[in-house]
Amino acid sequence: MLRAVLSAYTSKRRGFEFRGRSRWPVTTASLMAAGFLIALVLAAVMLVIFGAGDRGTEIALRATARWSFLLFWLAYAGGAMAKLFGPPFDALAKQGRAMGLAYASAQLIHVALIFWLFHLAAGPGGAMLVFWAGIVCTYVLALFSWPRLRDALGPPLWQIVRITAMEYIAYVFALDFILIPLSEHGAGGYPLSYVPFAVMLVGAAGLRVAAVVHSKLVAQ
């Protein structure tokens, strides 16, 4: 009798949870919208508080860069965590494409702020070739995430493009969070606010390497 009651209660709970999830479906479009809107709100808040001049724009750039990085990190590390740690991370790995597109959506606000900073400076402020190459990589991945284009490219070539572009974007973030601050401030003056992002980036790179090694060992 008790077992029957518990079974019925569990079924009701599952039914309720399913209905709850269906009301708020996590789709690629919803993640893209969330990525864009949160970046937009962050930028707007920073510009309202600190002004729309150089200082406020630079603070808004830092805020949107960090938000974009969090989305990129989930796309970058999710598959590796699923390979290494199994089912608890399978859902994250399956959302890799959606997280990548959410990152690309958030980057639209970041790029808009870059152009606004150029406008304030009455022209480009220094060489940003590495950054713009990273932006190209971002939207190449977004473009070829659509199945028809990806299929036209072919699995082997797509794999090369995807891995190369992802690692290059990670390198751009490494410049921003690790290499440039170290060259400007040295190890002793390294900004503490950069530490969590640097640790996450190095950790994600380590996870990806470990996942490749793990896959090769399993295949043997």
Q: State residue 122's pLDDT score.
A: 67
By the 8 A CB rule, do 93 and 79 touch?
yes
What predicted TM-score, i.e. pTM, was given to this entire model?
A: 0.86
pLDDT tens, residue by residue, 131-150: 999 999 999 999 999 989 89
Other Cβ atoms less than 10 A from the Cβ of 77: the count is 25
Q: State residue 90's pLDDT score.
A: 93
Give exposure, 27-49, as e/b (b: 16+ Cβ within 10 Å). Answer: eeeebbeebbebbbebbeebbee
**Domain edges within the chain:** 25-219
By the 8 A CB rule, do 171 and 76 touch?
no
Binned at pLDDT 50, 70 and 90, residue 7 comes out as very low
Q: How far apart are CA 57 and CA 40, in angstroms?
A: 13
Q: How far apart are CA 51 and CA 206, in angstroms?
A: 39
Other Cβ atoms less than 10 A from the Cβ of 76: the count is 25
Q: Does residue 8 or residue 167 have the better pLDDT?
A: 167
Averaged pLDDT score across all residues of the chain: 87
By the 8 A CB rule, do 71 and 106 touch?
yes
* CATH 1.20.120 matches 25-219: yes
Q: State residue 127's pLDDT score.
A: 56
By the 8 A CB rule, do 36 and 108 touch?
yes
By the 8 A CB rule, do 78 and 96 touch?
yes
Q: State residue 23's pLDDT score.
A: 55
> Is the pLDDT assigned to residue 16 strictly greater than 80?
no
Q: How far apart are CA 37 and CA 17, in angstroms?
A: 27
> Is the pLDDT assigned to residue 15 strictly greater than 90?
no
By the 8 A CB rule, do 120 and 57 touch?
yes
pLDDT tens, residue by residue, 150-200: 999 899 999 999 999 999 999 999 999 999 999 999 999 999 999 999 999
Coil, strand or helix at 119: helix
* Total residue length of the chain: 220
> Is the pLDDT assigned to residue 10 strictly greater than 90?
no
- For 216, the enclosing helix (H) or strand (E) is helix 195-219
By the 8 A CB rule, do 109 and 36 touch?
yes
pLDDT tens, residue by residue, 172-181: 999 999 999 9
